[in-house]
């Protein structure tokens, strides 16, 4: 019953959204670009992520032309904890075309998630699931996710989902995912 209600609410949200995602407001001194989006997520680092649905994936407005590795994880999940050093190391390599985002789904609020990040050394974008249930429900529906963690979604530079994986991922696998998605696509000439 709850899943039906959630699905109906999500459907109403999707149908009720305007197709005009970007608007410009002008005042006498500056021109600002305002983004209205399907989802707005706040990281514990203070960054706002505006996310919209796109053909084959998601548009991360702040991460245009970047590979995005998005991991749903839990602070009490052993395979999730095992991935943190690999993600941290990949992030330390300072790839200009890579963004890593972790969304914690086992109930940490922002303050506790900040403490968790300090304790574990996680140096990538972290988001508390506590206030982002609508986004989690959206991913459950769209990716047919059953709630197992860690849950990985990897997007190419156009925002198209290229990898969907439930379960732990090794350092080598993360590096291969990034390498595969960051390569320029060869154009065939016929």
In tens, the pLDDT along 82-135 reads 999 999 999 999 889 999 999 999 999 999 999 999 999 999 999 999 999 999
Helix axes 133-142, 2-16, angle to 10 degrees: 100
* Residue 13 confidence (pLDDT) above 60: no
Note the pLDDT of residue 148. Answer: 95
Which has more confidence, 110 or 5? Answer: 110
1 pLDDT band, cuts 50/70/90, is: very low
Note the pLDDT of residue 37. Answer: 73
DSSP sequence for 83-131: HHHHHHHHHHT--TTEEEEEEE-S---HHHHHHHHHHHT--SEEEEGGG
Note the pLDDT of residue 36. Answer: 55
Q: Which long-range contacts (CB under 8 A, 24 or more apart) does 181-186 make?
A: 181/67, 181/154, 181/155, 181/156, 181/157, 182/67, 182/95, 182/97, 182/98, 182/157
Q: Taking a C-beta distance cutoff of 8 angstroms, is the pair 73, 150 a contact?
A: yes
pTM exceeds 0.75, yes or no: yes
Mean pLDDT of the chain: 82
């Amino acid at each position: 019953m709850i899943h039906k209600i959630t699905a109906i609410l999500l459907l109403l949200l999707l149908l009720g959204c305007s197709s005009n995602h970007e608007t410009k407001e002008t005042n006498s001194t500056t021109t600002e670009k305002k983004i209205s989006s399907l989802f707005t997520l706040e990281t514990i680092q203070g960054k706002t992520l505006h996310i919209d649905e796109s053909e084959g994936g998601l548009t991360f407005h702040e991460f245009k032309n970047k590979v995005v590795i998005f991991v749903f994880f839990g602070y009490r999940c052993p395979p999730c904890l095992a991935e943190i050093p690999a993600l941290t190391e990949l992030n330390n390599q300072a790839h200009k075309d890579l963004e890593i985002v972790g969304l914690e789904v086992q109930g940490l609020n922002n303050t506790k998630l900040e403490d968790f990040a300090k304790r574990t050394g996680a140096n990538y974008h972290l988001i508390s699931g506590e206030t982002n249930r609508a986004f989690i429900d959206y991913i459950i529906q769209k990716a047919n996710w059953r709630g197992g963690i860690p849950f990985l979604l990897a997007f190419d530079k156009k925002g198209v989902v290229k990898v969907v994986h439930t379960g732990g991922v090794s350092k080598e696998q993360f590096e291969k995912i990034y390498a595969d998605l960051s390569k320029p696509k060869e154009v065939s000439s016929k």
